[in-house]
Amino acid sequence: MRRTSGRECRDEPAPHDGRRFSPRRTRTEDSVTASFSGGCLCGACRYTAHGEPINVRVCHCRSCQKALGATFNARVLMPRAAVELGGPIGWARSSPELARGFCTLCGSTLFSERAVRGWIGITLASLDEPERFTPTEHIWTSSKPAWLQLADGLPHYPEAPPG
Ligand SMILES: [Zn+2]
Ligand SMILES: [Zn+2]
Total structural domains within the chain:
1
User: What average pLDDT does the chain have?
Assistant: 86
Q: What proportion of the chain, given as a percentage, has pLDDT over 90? A: 77
Please report whether residue 10 resides in a domain.
no
In a domain, 137, yes or no: yes
Number of CB atoms found within 10 A of residue 53's CB = 19
What are 78's strand-pairing partners? 120
Q: How far is the CA of 155 from the centre of ligand 1 (A)?
A: 33
Residues with CB under 5 A from ligand 1 (ion): 40, 42, 44, 103, 105-106
Helix (H) or strand (E) run with residue 76 in it:
strand 73-79
Choice between 16 and 71, residue whose per-residue pLDDT is larger: 71
- Asked whether residue 19 is domain-assigned, the answer is no
pTM of the model: 0.80
pLDDT level of residue 162 (50, 70, 90 thresholds): confident
> Counting ligands in written order, which one lies closest to the CA of residue 77?
2
Q: Is 78 exposed, middle or buried (0-12, 13-18, 19+ CB in 10 A)?
A: buried
Q: Establish if 102 belongs to a structural domain.
A: yes
**What CATH number is attached to the domain comprising 109?**
3.90.1590.10
Q: How far is the CA of 49 from the centre of ligand 2 (A)?
A: 21
Lowest mean pLDDT among 30-39, 57-66, 135-144: 30-39
Residue 115: which residues within 8 A CB-CB, separation 6 or more? Answer: 80, 97, 99
User: How close is the Cα of 68 to the center of ligand 1, in Å?
Assistant: 14
- Examine residue 153 and state whether it is found in any structural domain, yes or no: no
| Domain span including residue 110 | 35-143
Instruction: For residue 151, tell me if it sits in a domain.
Output: no
Binned at pLDDT 50, 70 and 90, residue 163 comes out as confident
> How far, in Å, is the centroid of ligand 1 from the Cα of 41?
5
Instruction: With respect to residue 96, please indicate whether it lies within any of the assigned structural domains.
Output: yes
Ramachandran sector of residue 143 (left: φ over 0; alpha: ψ -120 to 50; beta: rest): alpha
Q: Which of the pair, 112 or 5, is modelled with greater confidence? A: 112
Give a yes or no: residue 154 inside a domain: no
